[in-house]
Chain A
């Protein structure tokens, strides 16, 4: 075992610097979640659409996104999109686009399974009682589907917090990037990255536990 003199003060001395990075991490995750929820709904509607072309587009999109690495997608949005469309994309915007597209492909599946989890008998009862298909979707299917999708959506938020660290690669100043910058100047990677890992853990872990309890409560209803 080597002898190591811990110098935590080098990290705490830059506490505000790191926390502004954390703020960026949470803002990016929140914005991305909202965009991914909207975008995911569109893909889910495509997937379940009665028209073959729309279904094909939705399914192809989902397969491509789910079967390529998120990091490659981010690099693609940041370096390739600007060439193709001849525009400048800020690194922050590229991160938000990349993450929300990626997450949307998963969230669309969450919506789809939520809607399909509503037993057919519930809508048949509605039909026999004279509700229109639209009324039946709005009043019977949607409220039950939403209840089913809330915990998975919250889990997606936890995932986004972790994935947003990839922004460091394209120099978005979220907390991981700030850590890289700090350790480059204080030469203390051990303290710096340990601290950052602990910060991630104490945000993600309580959320994940809370979600697990929530899901169990929903199931026992």
Chain B
């Protein structure tokens, strides 16, 4: 089952001014892993994801992609170049979708393949259409994002990330901004990706997804990884008091 590590956070710390948001977080994500990160608000989950997506620079430690360091506190030219080279291998899906509102769904999907990958237009369109069919939105190809429901927008955002064929896909609370009845359609797509062997790192409040789809659950609190367990084990036998208290919130 165990694949090679795709992306690894090695002792990553992050400070905003005096605010220590992450403290020496180490987290390897292996091929075909579906790592779910759970934890209370403000525990640093988003910040960790943003460090892995190269949207933040760690204050300490480093990010390593398939053995190559791609982000350090003071990156030299070589590391910066390595970061640029793997840019499209790391996809991210945001809580608020972040679709580009002035472009149609199809244009959203082909923009990066055309400009960052320099794919021929026909090829980019063919890929986009295949992905739209996969997220069940083939008929929305020419619609503008504002005309879509939140669930549809998030599925377009997932398709847009997939269009760059990333090696790992990061999800930051992809369903939190959605009404409960729209969450299912997004979770279904995520579940399908997981079953196809996509490597995923998923920050979520959906405990059901973490338990049933995740291969590993990571519990974060106050900028640290407090507990880590494979699959459902975290939910059945939490080892720390903090994790137990966190899980109690979700029991009815």
Interface residues of A (CB under 8 A from B): 119, 121-122, 124-132, 135, 139-140, 143-144, 147, 221
We find that the number of chain B residues with CB closer than 8 angstroms to chain A is 25
CA distance A120 to B101 in the complex (A): 13
Contacts of A140 in B (CB 8 A): 100
Residues of chain B from 102 to 145 with CB closer than 8 A to chain A in the complex? 102, 111-112, 115-117
Q: Is B66 an interface residue (CB 8 A)?
A: no
Residue from B94, B101, B102, B116 in contact with A130 in the complex, judged by beta carbons closer than 8 Å? B116
Do B94 and A121 have beta carbons less than 8 Å apart? Answer: yes
Do A139 and B55 have beta carbons less than 8 Å apart? Answer: no
Residue of B99, B116, B157 with most chain A CB atoms under a 10 A cut-off: B116
Distance (whole angstroms) from the CB of B240 to the closest CB of chain A: 33
What are the interface flags for B14-49 relative to A under an 8 Å C-beta threshold, 1 for contact and 0 otherwise?
A: 000000000000000000000000000000000000
Distance (whole angstroms) from the CB of A193 to the closest CB of chain B: 46
Q: Is B183 an interface residue (CB 8 A)?
A: no
Do A122 and B98 have beta carbons less than 8 Å apart? Answer: yes
Q: Is B202 an interface residue (CB 8 A)?
A: no
Task: For B89, give the chain A residue with the smallest CB separation.
Answer: A130
Distance (whole angstroms) from the CB of B95 to the closest CB of chain A: 9
Residue from A121, A128, A221 in contact with B146 in the complex, judged by beta carbons closer than 8 Å? A221
Task: For A127, give the chain B residue with the smallest CB separation.
Answer: B55
Do A131 and B164 have beta carbons less than 8 Å apart? Answer: no
Contacts of A139 in B (CB 8 A): 111, 115
Q: Is B205 an interface residue (CB 8 A)?
A: no
Distance (whole angstroms) from the CB of A128 to the closest CB of chain B: 5
Do A128 and B91 have beta carbons less than 8 Å apart? Answer: yes
Contacts of A124 in B (CB 8 A): 55, 94, 98
Contacts of B146 in A (CB 8 A): 221
Do A131 and B90 have beta carbons less than 8 Å apart? Answer: no
Residue of A121, A128, A139 with most chain B CB atoms under a 10 A cut-off: A128
Residues of chain B from 58 to 114 with CB closer than 8 A to chain A in the complex? 87-88, 90-92, 94, 96, 98-102, 111-112
